[in-house]
Structure 1
Amino acid sequence: MKVKLLLFCLVLITGSVKAQSSASLLQEIQKSKADTGRVKKLLALGRLILLKSGAGPKETDSAYRYMQQADLLSIKLNDVKGRANAALLAAMISNKKGDHKNGAALAQKGFDFFKSINDKPGMAEAYIIIGQHYENAGDDIDKKIAYYQQAVDIFKQVGLKEREANTTVGIAELQTMQGKYEIAVKNLQVALAIYQSIGFKNLEQLYDLMGTSLVYLGHIDEALKYELMAVRLMEAKGDQSSLMCTVYNRFAVCYYSLHRWDQALIYYGKALKIARKYKDSISMAVIIGNEVLSYYRLNQPEKALGKLMELKPMLYLFTDPQDQIERYYYYCLVYTRLRQFKMAKVYLDKMEVLKKDAGPQITEIQRAYIGYYIATEQYSKAYPYLQAHEDYYQQKKVLQFLASNQLSWFKVDSGMGKYLSAIKHYQRYKMLTDSVYRTANDKHTSFLQIEFETEKKNAELQLQAKNIQLLKDKEQLQRSRVTAAKASRNMFIGGSAMLLLLLGVGYNRYRLNQRSNRQLRAHQNEINKQNESLQMLNNKQERLIDEKQWLLKEVHHRVKNNLQIVMSLLSTQSAYLENNAALEAITESQNRVRAIALIHHKLYSTDEVASIHMPSYITDLVHNLGDCFDTAGHRIRFEQLVEPIQLDLTQAVPFGLILNEAVTNAIKYAFDSDGGQIVIALQLVGQNDVMLTIADNGRGLPADFDLKSASSLGMEMMKALSKQLRGTFKVQNNGGVTVTVEFEIESVRYNTEAKNAYEKGEPNISSCAGC
């Protein structure tokens, strides 16, 4: 039974950079000068981001940006080596994106740069990146190995031993993919010797690959040892990277090969947890497939089927025929064990369609047919597949699959009644299993036992060392106690003398403190009296302020009442008039008085007695004018665009009269019977200036209208009131009449004048409306 090993591709990155976080590298880049040092740091940051576990499109784009910055700076500095390394990083990015053709061209560009300056290590790194753009299958894998080997030769020539060993391990992994396990083991042994010669400690990747190759060669005990060393090294570091997922899976495969399927499931579970963490769907599918085989071996086909259902949504990930055969094989096995032969036949037929592109996976098709024909008792049909399977693994010398095939042959011969031949095949099966599994299990048990005993002895030695150290500590403690007792006696005598001296000094300080406390209490009493006086003054001032506020409100209330009386008198007077012009004048005067009265009403009805909130004032004034002239009946609409501006009384009165006059004129003269719209806008212009705009869409002014010669009472009032506001007054004929008044807010102007007067040493005399 063949379980799937997760393959990791060794990323043999160019250059050697000390281990740093991306944050610290970015900090160094920001502080660095625009020189070759910055180029190296930019490239190092790009590689770090690109090769981070779980890196996706976002990280790839970030790596590309840093590569571009490095390349541009290299061009500016004429740094050929920097340009070469930037080209290699660009090639790695293209490879990550799946654009292998462009990646290979960029890697070749980097190689040409290195060659132009005779940088041999750089040329070796370029060979590696060029090789990485070939696929891990068919003729491509041989080309990839050839490029890696050229890099190894250069590293060996220039004495870069760590890079030589790294690349040799990369070659061994590719040979593992090819099924050349013996050659792979030899290369790994060479790499291990190099690592040991330079004291290199991070050997987990090498151990893992060694274990993988030894599993396929049938040396399960040795494989388990190496995988165990890889697991321990990585667990000691707290490694939870995607590489840890691969190592756990391969460790589980060792247990699977030893028929310890329950133990294998434990480590498959650990591997699957990491794969899910990184959302690595391919690895998840491979591991779940291995779990299927373990449950199948444990004769738990229902659980195996449950895992297959978990695997089913991931089948779309596998487009390569060999990978598809691998998955269909799982389904065929489980459905055959469940005796659901129709379903098993469905997946047999799917494998048959892919047979011409099966490659090494042809063995799985063979095993699927053998299992199916044995289960359905079609024994004679199994013979061709048994022989083909035997021939393949005789050539590969993989004992575990030869043993499995002999057992299947025994079952077929028994079913056919060929008992003599069946016995021979069974004996062959026992011989192979004895040499592979039983010996391996015995060695494995011995290995673990020796390891346990060693750890136990080490623990006992450590305990003894602790006990010896404890006795030494006790002896040292006794000596310390004697010395401490002598020191305590001497200190007691000296301390007694010091105590008497301190008591005398302390008593003297006590007397001085008493005197100081009496003085402080006297000062505190005086301060308390002053605070009480200040509090009384504050309370009195607050009462005066409240009274002032009340009086101001009362004044505004009375002024408003007086203005109401004036309006009532005007209304009474109008009852005795029959002249329309006189009545109209009376009405307009009432509206003007009402505009002023509304200001005083606003001042006494709110807490703010110094200024008027213009949005609410304008709304009330327009509402009053609308009621007076029945604008609803004349179909006149109002629109207000008013900002939250505050004006004090001196400006609010002329402002209100101007607004009253302009709106009244628009209502009376602007529109025909169809009605129209009046827009009132109040806006800040600049920082301190205010602009009032009253615009209508009526018939407009006569063609010969001249503002300077206009002599109507309303127009004269608006011009005079604008001067009182120290503002500018404009009337324009633009699709109707637009009246504009622009002036400065009084409080801002007054403060500016006061400041200028103070700086000149002059008294501040401010003019205001009504002064």
Structure 2
Amino acid sequence: MNRPEKPKEGGIPPGLLAMLILILFPSSALAQTRLFDYVDNHTSIMMLVDPDTGIIMDANKTASAFYGYPQEVLRGMSITRINVLSPEEIRAEMQAAAAQRRNYFVFPHRIADGSIRTVEVYSSPVVAPADGRRILLSIVHDITGKSVPEAEMDAYRVRLNALVETRARELVEARSMNAILAAAAILASLAGVILYFGVRNQRRSEAAIRAALEERNNLFAELQHRVKNSFAAIASLIHIEQSRTREESVRSALGTLGGRVDTLAALYRLMHEGRMDGRVDLPRYLREIVGPLSAAIEGAAPRLEMECGISELAWDAKRASNLGLILNELVTNAYKHSPAGETGSIRVTLERCGPDLRLSVSNPGDPLPTGFEPGTGSGFGLLMVRELVRQFEGSLGFDSSGGRVDFTIRVPA
């Protein structure tokens, strides 16, 4: 970059030049225009600066060559882009020059290539032609590598030390921030690694759990299959013995026992064919019970009908088997105690009643004896029904008016 020519030996020193300019061009409304008409091609670095805003209002060609910026760029530039002191220090010095308390300064100035030059500055106030404001005429002399007047040396050294401390603090803060960012990046990487291994271990655990569940379900299905076959074999033996016996009481007892076994066999058949969580569709299970019972009394009166007001309800196997045994006993009991030659029907009804489930079995029949209590007679069927209802914490009711006998139980759904 081209440097301005240094004043020749015997040339006018910058301080004297400033005094001569102010004598030749006094502070008037036209001073600024006349001044830069005269000095634009002068070899000294000259600028006009607004002391209130720090804006460079004008600069001559020598200033443009020294600082490395075109004149049109220098005009309008803040002096803080050139002077490396803090904005507060620069503002204080400009105000001192505007008030004519001081007119000689030594500053570190930054040029366009980023290098720092030591300069002495002579600043004096002149009047701006546009609005009559006082602005500063600054004549700059490059003294980089030269001796600085002793009176300015201490102040200049203090400024440089403060500048070094400020830049060092900024560097430390920048390095601290870089260290923080680096640490954050390392932590993020570690978190990613931990997350990866965590997800991988979780997937392995899930796969192991799925394998264990599949093995358990296979074992459960095999157990259900074996139990179902065992119940089928028991039911077959009971029916064989029932067909062989000639005594009616024995045939009746074997038939009742076979119905109970069929009820449990139906439960395990549904569990084997359906869900693997030990639960069964209750309405379907009860229909599976009613179906064989209806076939057993086919051709005899009364006929068996079922009305189900519930489309689907999943119950665990234990509760479902208990309700199935209750239904089997009530239907068997209804069939046994229906009058001979009756042409009516045995009706089974299943419906919801709020939080409860209501199961009703109704058959044609005469009124029950006064003081009748289910399970107090010699038969085992109603006694078993009463005990199972108690386990449900439900209720058992009956009614024998209107030519029909109704048994109704309510249990929690």
TM-score by length of 2: 0.55
- 1:591 paired with 2:180, answer no
Mapped to 2, the partners of 1:677 and 1:499 lie a distance apart of: 111
Match of 1:565 in 2: 233
Question: By percentage of residues, which structure has more helix?
Answer: 1
Q: Per-residue deviation at 1:615? A: 1.3
- 1:636 paired with 2:225, answer no
Mapped to 2, the partners of 1:672 and 1:580 lie a distance apart of: 16
The letter for the 1-side match of 2:286 is I
The 5 Å alignment of 1:213-228 reads: none
The 5 Å alignment of 1:341-420 reads: none
Mapped to 1, the partners of 2:314 and 2:188 lie a distance apart of: 52
Match of 2:390 in 1: 723
Q: Per-residue deviation at 1:661? A: 1.2
- 1:486 paired with 2:153, answer no
Mapped to 2, the partners of 1:518 and 1:497 lie a distance apart of: 40
Mapped to 2, the partners of 1:497 and 1:681 lie a distance apart of: 102
The letter for the 2-side match of 1:693 is S
Mapped to 2, the partners of 1:497 and 1:680 lie a distance apart of: 105
8 Å contact 1:707–1:731 — kept in the other structure? no
Distance 1:700 1:490, change over 3 A: farther
- 1:677 paired with 2:345, answer yes
- 1:604 paired with 2:272, answer yes
Q: SS at 1:711's partner residue?
A: coil
Distance 1:540 1:714, change over 3 A: same
8 Å contact 1:694–1:740 — kept in the other structure? yes
Match of 2:47 in 1: none
The letter for the 2-side match of 1:596 is L
The letter for the 2-side match of 1:675 is T
Mapped to 1, the partners of 2:224 and 2:191 lie a distance apart of: 50
Mapped to 1, the partners of 2:184 and 2:380 lie a distance apart of: 83
Q: Per-residue deviation at 1:491? A: 7.6
Mapped to 2, the partners of 1:657 and 1:518 lie a distance apart of: 68
Mapped to 1, the partners of 2:225 and 2:358 lie a distance apart of: 29
The 5 Å alignment of 1:383-462 reads: none
Match of 2:250 in 1: 582
Match of 2:357 in 1: 690
Mapped to 2, the partners of 1:635 and 1:711 lie a distance apart of: 25
Distance 1:624 1:483, change over 3 A: farther
The letter for the 2-side match of 1:711 is S
The 5 Å alignment of 1:150-549 reads: 486-488=75-77, 493=82, 509-510=177-178, 512-549=180-217
Of 223, 246, 253, the match for 1:555: 223
Match of 1:699 in 2: 365
8 Å contact 2:350–2:358 — kept in the other structure? yes
Distance 1:663 1:705, change over 3 A: farther
The 5 Å alignment of 1:661-672 reads: 661-672=329-340
Mapped to 1, the partners of 2:233 and 2:180 lie a distance apart of: 79
Distance 1:635 1:670, change over 3 A: closer
Q: Per-residue deviation at 1:584? A: 2.2
Q: Deviations over 1:563-601 (max 9, x none)?
A: 111011112223431222212221221111011111112
Between structure 1 and structure 2, the one with the greater Rg is: 2
- 1:742 paired with 2:380, answer no
Q: SS at 2:301's partner residue?
A: coil
Q: Deviations over 1:619-668 (max 9, x none)?
A: 2211111111115x536251313324333222222211110111122233
Q: Per-residue deviation at 1:690? A: 2.6
Q: Per-residue deviation at 1:552? A: 2.4
Distance 1:700 1:560, change over 3 A: farther
Mapped to 2, the partners of 1:516 and 1:636 lie a distance apart of: 81
Distance 1:587 1:499, change over 3 A: farther
Mapped to 2, the partners of 1:649 and 1:733 lie a distance apart of: 32
Mapped to 2, the partners of 1:738 and 1:498 lie a distance apart of: 108
Cα RMSD after superposing both structures = 3.5
- 1:712 paired with 2:340, answer no
- 1:651 paired with 2:240, answer no
Match of 1:624 in 2: 292
Mapped to 1, the partners of 2:221 and 2:276 lie a distance apart of: 9
Distance 1:515 1:646, change over 3 A: closer
8 Å contact 1:552–1:609 — kept in the other structure? no
Distance 1:608 1:512, change over 3 A: closer
8 Å contact 1:637–1:676 — kept in the other structure? no
Q: SS at 2:360's partner residue?
A: strand
8 Å contact 2:274–2:280 — kept in the other structure? no
Match of 2:120 in 1: none
8 Å contact 2:302–2:346 — kept in the other structure? no
The letter for the 1-side match of 2:75 is K
8 Å contact 2:309–2:352 — kept in the other structure? no
Mapped to 2, the partners of 1:738 and 1:540 lie a distance apart of: 53
Matched pairs, number: 262
The letter for the 1-side match of 2:182 is Q
Mapped to 1, the partners of 2:223 and 2:215 lie a distance apart of: 12
Q: Per-residue deviation at 1:509? A: 4.0
Mapped to 2, the partners of 1:524 and 1:677 lie a distance apart of: 72
Q: SS at 1:647's partner residue?
A: strand
Q: Deviations over 1:231-265 (max 9, x none)?
A: xxxxxxxxxxxxxxxxxxxxxxxxxxxxxxxxxxx
Q: Deviations over 1:329-369 (max 9, x none)?
A: xxxxxxxxxxxxxxxxxxxxxxxxxxxxxxxxxxxxxxxxx
Mapped to 1, the partners of 2:231 and 2:354 lie a distance apart of: 36
Mapped to 2, the partners of 1:669 and 1:494 lie a distance apart of: 117
Poorly superposed stretches of 4+, deviation over 6 Å: 482-485, 494-503
Distance 1:563 1:665, change over 3 A: same
Distance 1:565 1:515, change over 3 A: same
RCO comparison, higher one (Cα < 8 Å, 6+): 2
Q: SS at 1:544's partner residue?
A: helix
8 Å contact 1:614–1:646 — kept in the other structure? yes
Q: Per-residue deviation at 1:490? A: 5.3
Q: Deviations over 1:385-427 (max 9, x none)?
A: xxxxxxxxxxxxxxxxxxxxxxxxxxxxxxxxxxxxxxxxxxx
Q: Per-residue deviation at 1:604? A: 2.2
In structure 2, runs of 5+ residues without a counterpart are 1-70, 85-109, 115-166
Q: SS at 2:365's partner residue?
A: coil
Distance 1:717 1:515, change over 3 A: closer
Q: SS at 2:244's partner residue?
A: coil
Mapped to 1, the partners of 2:232 and 2:253 lie a distance apart of: 17
8 Å contact 1:639–1:677 — kept in the other structure? no
The letter for the 2-side match of 1:707 is E
Match of 1:613 in 2: 281
Mapped to 2, the partners of 1:498 and 1:536 lie a distance apart of: 63
Q: Deviations over 1:43-62 (max 9, x none)?
A: xxxxxxxxxxxxxxxxxxxx
Mapped to 2, the partners of 1:516 and 1:654 lie a distance apart of: 63
Distance 1:641 1:526, change over 3 A: closer
Distance 1:513 1:591, change over 3 A: same
Distance 1:721 1:515, change over 3 A: closer
The letter for the 1-side match of 2:186 is R
Mapped to 1, the partners of 2:244 and 2:390 lie a distance apart of: 36
Distance 1:591 1:695, change over 3 A: same
8 Å contact 2:302–2:335 — kept in the other structure? no
Q: Per-residue deviation at 1:700? A: 3.0
